[in-house]
Amino acid sequence: MLNKRLIVAITGASGTIYGIRILEALRDIGVESHLVMSDSAKLTMAAETSYKPAQIEAMADVVHSAKNVGASISSGSFKSLGMVIAPCSIRTLSEIACGVTSSLVSRAADVVLKERRRLVLLVRETPLHLGHLRSMSQVTECGAIVMPPVPAFYAKPNSLDDMVSHTVGRCLDLFDLDNTLVTRWNGMDGGK
């Protein structure tokens, strides 16, 4: 039986911690991760976190260069649960929406869609103009799931880390991957 594998891409949008936390969670639940980071992601990561790219790469089972459009994850014959782009820049969203495959990130996403596998985009931008919304609509029509990382205040987060973890847990839910990162809603009466 094939091991569970998930492609994780980190682009240059703000919120690189989401991709980092996804890699940590996949390691914790025993899912093989295939990482691709854009050059912009490395710059944003340096501005937002104390992580170095090598530390993030060490969290993944396999690392692919964003310039290598011939990598294993660029082929439909590469079996996986799908792909998550966290965070997903508007540029990457727009490329996927239009079928442009200028990097391994957009190529792998295109392949995931054509193979009818799950593609989740944690789009990190606000406010949105009509072009952004049209791109979101277009990728949704192609089969992707647009999942802006919006905090769930019903979980009563105590920290930014709690909010990031909850979003990551909900993202993993979309791949039917069991995790303990999510505070599940039990109704207003606590499920009684």
Q: Is residue 16 within 8 Å of residue 7, measured between CB atoms?
A: no
CATH number, residue 76? 3.40.50.1950
Tens digit of each residue's pLDDT (9 = 90 or more) over 3-14: 799 999 999 999
Q: Is residue 184 part of a domain?
A: no
Kindly give, in sequence order, each residue whose CB lies less than 8 Å from that of residue 126, ignoring residues fewer than 6 positions away: none
Tens digit of each residue's pLDDT (9 = 90 or more) over 58-78: 999 999 999 999 999 999 999
Q: How far apart are CA 59 and CA 46, in angstroms?
A: 17
Q: Is residue 189 part of a domain?
A: no
Residue 191: pLDDT band (50, 70, 90) is low
**What's the distance, CA 77 to chain centroid?**
21
Domain containing residue 120? 5-173
Q: What is the pLDDT of residue 1?
A: 37
pTM: 0.95
Tokens 């929406």 locate to 97
Reading the block at residue 70, the tokens are 């011939």
Torsion sign, CA atoms 140, 145, 121, 104: negative
Q: What is the pLDDT of residue 192?
A: 62
Does the pLDDT value for residue 183 go beyond 90?
no
Q: Is residue 190 part of a domain?
A: no
What total number of domains does the chain contain?
1
Kindly give, in sequence order, each residue whose CB lies less than 8 Å from that of residue 13, ignoring residues fewer than 6 positions away: 44, 87, 88, 89, 90, 92, 123, 124, 125
How are strands ordered across the β-sheet holding 82-88? Answer: 62-65, 32-37, 5-10, 82-88, 118-123, 145-146
**Helix runs in 65-159, H state only:** 90-98, 104-114, 130-142
